[in-house]
């Protein structure tokens, strides 16, 4: 029995791998006939290797559920021209290709999230709700629901265009007025409505600006838990993000009070702050500390501007709602001091901070590896410096070159000088010998 289960599991595993197609440069011309979910990867990329088993599960699940989405993967380094045509700039890049449109996936790289994205984007941009029962069912499934109410109109055309653009983030629906419950009262038709936070809000072109901007601002609940990925998405709304930094493992009265105060601002002062602020809480301060390159106390309140990396903190601990409202107002009117930013000094500081964090993380995880990675280069550099410092000076050579001499010329000069001295000595000896001989000849003549 165990052998049968193992064989069955092996069969499923091998069939799952067959459900993800390896794509080549011919894919660009043939893809228009189907909807494709494609992973553009690089063989050497660690994140790509981590995504690989998840991607196989995605292919198996979409095929098993009868989805029209076909799943493939392409080596973006081998087919760099095709990848470049699709706007691939990093690895891995996940795109859903539907006709002439290409949608980037920016969510968590989990099977369920990727499948939900594929099914949402592959379907119609605007889904129709034919009955009140269907409306109530969809409303329970979605924390934020956009709905167009009414018949054909220029507003519906705008709504459809916005849905085609922003369907990567959320669902869009349409319905007639009789589908809505009696508790929903619209002042005019057609209308675009967002249902969230247990209530609903209607789009007003004169107050809210473009429909696309309004949908982008409203696609999150007013108050929600925030993590690193959610914070990245919130930054794309253009809002400031007001966060209560807490420790969920060690709840205190102050942590609960700060969360409650921000929730009250989000609910009770929506008209004043909703356009500019997104509210939430974050468990722990590690991620915030890495963003601001500093230390945020827990619990505390911080406001982040993800567009320019600035942040704001209260001058003193927040104790009540009025104090918190004054802090938010001071951020809006510019009287609150801003910290951080994306200037040249902050960029240099960011590089240094990231380098230090990387070194510390390596030493914490593997001290021996850290010593090898950083000790070996330092040792080589030290030896090079020692060799340079102890090398013989070339000053004398340079001076001689400036005087017109080289080492060989100097040696030749010494040899000539020695020869002259030797010749001089020999000349003196010959002269003495001649004198002695002359003296002897003189003496003989006298005799």
d(CA 122, CA 34) in angstroms, rounded, equals 10
Backbone angles phi, psi at 101, to 5 degrees: -95, 145
Residue 265 · residue 228 · CB < 8 Å? no
- The CATH architecture of the domain made up of 127-218 is 3-Layer(aba) Sandwich (3.40)
* 199-202 and 240-246 beta bridge pairing: unpaired
| Mean pLDDT score of the chain | 81
154-178 pLDDT, tens digit each: 999 999 999 999 999 999 999 999 9
> Is 385 a residue of the active site?
no
Residue 40 · residue 76 · CB < 8 Å? yes
Residue 76 · residue 87 · CB < 8 Å? no
CA angle 400, 401, 403 (to 5 degrees): 65
Residue 171 · residue 126 · CB < 8 Å? no
> Is 48 a residue of the active site?
yes
Query: What whole-number percentage of the chain has pLDDT above 70?
Result: 75
Question: 223-340 — its CATH code?
Answer: 3.40.30.10
Q: Taking the chain, what is the end-to-end CA distance rounded to the nearest angstrom?
A: 145
Each domain of the chain, given as residue ranges in start order, spans: 12-122, 127-218, 223-340, 346-390
**Which of these CATH numbers, 3.40.50.2300, 3.40.30.10, 1.10.8.60, 3.40.50.1000, describes 12-122?**
3.40.30.10
Catalytic one among 48, 371, 385, 389?
48
pTM for the predicted model, two decimal places: 0.70
Question: Same CATH fold, 223-340 and 127-218?
Answer: yes
Q: Could you tell me the pLDDT band of residue 4, with boundaries at 50, 70 and 90?
A: very low
No. of H helices and E strands in the chain? 18, 16
Would you put residue 48 in left (φ > 0), alpha (ψ -120 to 50) or beta?
A: alpha
172-227 pLDDT, tens digit each: 999 999 999 989 989 899 999 999 999 999 999 999 999 999 999 999 999 999 98
Catalytic one among 45, 371, 385, 389?
45
d(CA 393, CA 319) in angstroms, rounded, equals 71
């Amino acid at each position: 029995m165990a052998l049968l289960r193992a064989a069955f599991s092996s069969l499923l595993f091998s069939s799952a791998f067959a459900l993800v197609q390896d794509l080549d440069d011919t894919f660009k011309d043939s893809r228009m006939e189907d909807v494709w979910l494609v992973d553009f990867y690089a063989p050497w990329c660690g994140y790509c290797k981590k995504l690989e088993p998840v991607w196989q599960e995605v292919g198996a699940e979409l095929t098993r559920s009868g989805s029209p989405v076909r799943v493939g993967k392409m080596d973006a380094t081998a087919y760099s021209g095709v990848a470049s045509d699709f706007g691939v700039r990093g690895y891995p890049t996940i795109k859903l290709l539907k006709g002439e449109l290409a949608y980037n996936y920016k969510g968590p790289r989990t099977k369920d999230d990727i499948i939900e994205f594929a099914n949402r984007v592959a379907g119609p941009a605007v889904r129709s709700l034919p009955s009140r029962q269907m409306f109530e069912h969809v409303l329970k499934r979605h924390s934020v629901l956009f709905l167009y109410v009414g018949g054909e109109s220029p507003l519906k055309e705008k709504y459809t265009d916005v849905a085609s653009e922003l369907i990567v983030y959320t669902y869009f629906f349409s319905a007639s007025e009789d589908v809505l419950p009696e508790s929903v009262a619209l002042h005019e038709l057609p209308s675009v409505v967002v249902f969230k936070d247990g209530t609903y809000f209607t789009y007003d072109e004169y107050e809210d600006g473009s429909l696309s901007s309004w949908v982008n601002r409203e696609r999150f609940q007013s108050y929600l838990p925030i993590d690193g990925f959610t914070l990245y998405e919130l930054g794309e709304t253009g809002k400031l993000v007001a966060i209560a930094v807490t420790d969920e493992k060690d709840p205190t009265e102050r942590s609960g009070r700060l969360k409650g105060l921000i929730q009250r601002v989000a609910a009770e002062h929506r008209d004043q702050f909703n356009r500019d602020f997104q509210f939430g809480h974050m468990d722990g301060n590690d991620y915030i500390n890495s963003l601001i390159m500093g230390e945020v106390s827990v619990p505390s309140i911080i406001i982040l501007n993800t567009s320019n990396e600035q942040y704001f903190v209260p001058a003193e601990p927040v104790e009540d709602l009025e104090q918190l409202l004054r802090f938010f107002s001071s951020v809006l009117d510019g009287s609150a001091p801003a910290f951080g930013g994306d200037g040249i000094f902050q960029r240099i500081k960011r590089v240094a901070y990231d380098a230090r964090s990387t070194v510390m993380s390596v030493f914490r995880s593997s001290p021996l590896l850290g010593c090898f990675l950083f000790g070996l280069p330092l040792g080589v550099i030290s030896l090079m410096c020692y060799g340079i410092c102890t090398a013989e000076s070339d000053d004398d050579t340079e001076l001689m070159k400036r005087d017109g001499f080289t080492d060989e010329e100097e040696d030749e000069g010494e040899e000539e000088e020695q020869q002259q001295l030797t010749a001089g000595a020999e000349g003196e000896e010959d002269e003495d010998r001649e004198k002695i001989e002359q003296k002897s000849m003189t003496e003989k003549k006298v005799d």
